[in-house]
Amino acid sequence: METVERQIRNGVFISIEGPEGAGKSTHLNRLKDALATEGYDVILTREPGGTTISDSIRALLLDAGNDNMTSLTELLLYAAARAQHMQEVIIPSLQAGRVVLCDRFTDSTIAYQGYGRGLDIQLIKHLNDLATGAVYPHLTIILDLDPALGLERVNRFRHGGQDSKDRLEREDISFHQRIRKGFLRLAAKEPARYRIIDASRSIENVFASLFATVTDYLRHGRQQS
């Protein structure tokens, strides 16, 4: 029987990470369209979410009314949403040879629940392995920016100045600073998998860097790895 590793060898798995307000959703929608125009068979998905069950879990996680959720409950819910997403969407898409773009993945759990909430990083890595079946992105792009700027963007654009931030966005600035530091540490430890893009620049500049990074990887990176 073929191993999962062999079965997924034709697909390319790319995750995009970063603090709040880095503009991931806007860029990922554009990136998906641009790659499809180039002829790639591409799917855009997100965490938490990507399936009906995972989207129900997402609603629980982001509901600002659930302000008494414990950090462990939060961690287990992200893992549960991921386990379903892997089996229903990510693994079948990789097996079909598609390019999978995922808006947040396991690095968010290490950054938010590990560096942000202070849960044990080794425990999180074990849970990530369990939920993913040890299938990880080939390439992870971090859209990096100062959380103060990111949260200001979230307030200005996404919520139109209204107080409708989700449960995570409501955390204080030091929580978000720890998360940024977490992402940068992960990238520093495993530079082959990560690319960091400065997301404080204009949308056009950020997108140009993102598109160049991904197309360069799709054309050359996989052969080298």
The residues that touch ligand TYD, with contacts defined as CB under 6 A, are 20, 24-25, 47-48, 62, 78, 104, 108-109, 112-113, 166, 168
**Which residue number, 9 or 158, has a Cβ lying nearer to ligand TYD?**
158
| Under 8 Å between Cβ of 6 and 135 | no
In the complex, least distance from residue 208 CB atom to ligand TYD, rounded to whole angstroms? 21
In the complex, least distance from residue 62 CB atom to ligand TYD, rounded to whole angstroms? 6
**Which residue number, 139 or 199, has a Cβ lying nearer to ligand TYD?**
199
Ranges of H-type helices in 48-202: 52-62, 71-85, 91-95, 106-108, 121-132, 147-153, 173-189
Structure tokens, 112: 């938010």
In the complex, least distance from residue 219 CB atom to ligand TYD, rounded to whole angstroms? 27
In the complex, least distance from residue 6 CB atom to ligand TYD, rounded to whole angstroms? 27
- Distance from C-alpha of 202 to C-alpha of 136, rounded to nearest angstrom: 30
**Which residue number, 10 or 29, has a Cβ lying nearer to ligand TYD?**
29
**Which residue number, 25 or 164, has a Cβ lying nearer to ligand TYD?**
25
Partner residues linked to 101 by β-bridges: 14, 44
**Cα-trace Rg, the chain:** 17
**Which residue number, 2 or 163, has a Cβ lying nearer to ligand TYD?**
163
* Sheet strand arrangement including 42-46: 42-46, 99-103, 12-17, 139-144, 194-198
Q: Cα 52 to the chain's mean position, in Å?
A: 18
Structure tokens, 111: 């950054």
In the complex, least distance from residue 48 CB atom to ligand TYD, rounded to whole angstroms? 5
